[in-house]
Amino acid sequence: MSLITVRPEGLYCEAGNFYIDPWQGVETALITHAHADHARPNSQRYIATQLSTGILHKRLGQTIALEPVAYGTPIKLGQTWVSFHPAGHVLGSAQIRIEHKDTVWVISGDYKRCADPTCAPFEVVPCDVFITEATFGLPIYRWQSGADICRQIYDWWQSDLERPSLLFCYALGKAQRVLAELRQFCDRPVYVHGAIHSLTELYRDVGVDLVATLPVADQPRQYPFNGDLILAPPSGHRSNWMKRFRQPQTAFASGWMAVRGARRRRGYERGFVLSDHADWPGLIQTIHQTGAKTVYVTHGQSDVLARYLTEVCGLNAFPLKTLYEGEGDI
């Protein structure tokens, strides 16, 4: 690596004197998106997309020094030109393009190629060097459309209206994607955990069309929730919060549900394979479309994907060790 190096604080660009998604506080941090493993506190200056500002303020504090930029707008940082481009991961998510002299690098952040009504679709950005995530970088991971999976979620909910239906999903991105897709199938409100409610309102603030939601906490203690759908983060599973629901049916929406036995080991009755990361075909397609001859692979199955890109695709591909966590309870 040359333009981008790995330091104890994170990915660093010396020519521009900035970090990308650092895992420690730094002077200048460029943020791909607002998930907790990419947007961390204590930096002096943050630069991120306009659409992510509300979530970043919610998660990092209203007093952070945050400079919003529009997708595709170049900004000069040191000896580099930098721009943010849609990643299709969650609201405001971006790839970061860095141009220095006659070389272009792109840091993907987290991304997906499936359609998602809650965020701008992924944009292919041609480059010489591509740093890609590989959260689901194995051939077993192949996604159906979000609309198809959310139809399955709706049918599961409607299959048992005698008791509450608890769907566990990540509070930022996944929950809002489900709420947006459900608009095709129902017009009744969905109940949400407090962690999901606050983030969902930020999506509404920027015009994302979602099914109506009601906070669980606002309902009387004796309200039974029979026949209702409730969204909650995975941390709510088997918690004291869950005790207010009498004999609920439970499910988990995650890419990890593609792994045999994952649902049973985690203690859910049903699993829905819904991810906000690229699947194996999406990763391979994206890497080829960028035109990059050198690829660094991080954030998941980096060794497997790097070996495939080298041996099968003829690229210069290398695993890159970072502290990004992939799809988790964030």
pLDDT, tens only, 104-155: 999 999 999 999 999 999 999 999 999 999 999 999 999 999 999 999 999 9
> Cβ distance 54 to 206 under 8 Å?
yes
Is 4-140+277-319 a CATH 3.60.15.10 domain? Answer: yes
Average pLDDT over residues 60-76: 98
Amino acid at 180: A
> Cβ distance 36 to 330 under 8 Å?
yes
Q: How would residue 329 be classed by pLDDT, with cut points 50, 70 and 90?
A: very low
Is 146-272 a CATH 3.30.2000.10 domain? Answer: no
111-125, pLDDT tens digit by residue?
999 999 999 999 999
| 2 compared with 51, residue with greater pLDDT | 51
- What is the distance in angstroms between the CA of the first residue and the CA of the last residue of the chain? 30
β-strand partners of 203: none
Q: Rounded to whole angstroms, how far apart are CA atoms 55 and 62?
A: 10
CATH topology of 4-140+277-319 equal to that of 146-272? Answer: no
Walk across the sheet containing 165-168 and list its strands.
Answer: 213-215, 190-192, 229-232, 165-168, 249-253, 270-272
Structural domain spans, the chain: 4-140+277-319, 146-272
* Per-chain mean pLDDT for the chain: 95
Query: Other C-beta atoms within 10 Å of 9: how many?
Result: 16
Q: Rounded to whole angstroms, how far apart are CA atoms 276 and 233?
A: 15
pTM for the whole structure: 0.95
Is 226's pLDDT higher than 60?
Answer: yes
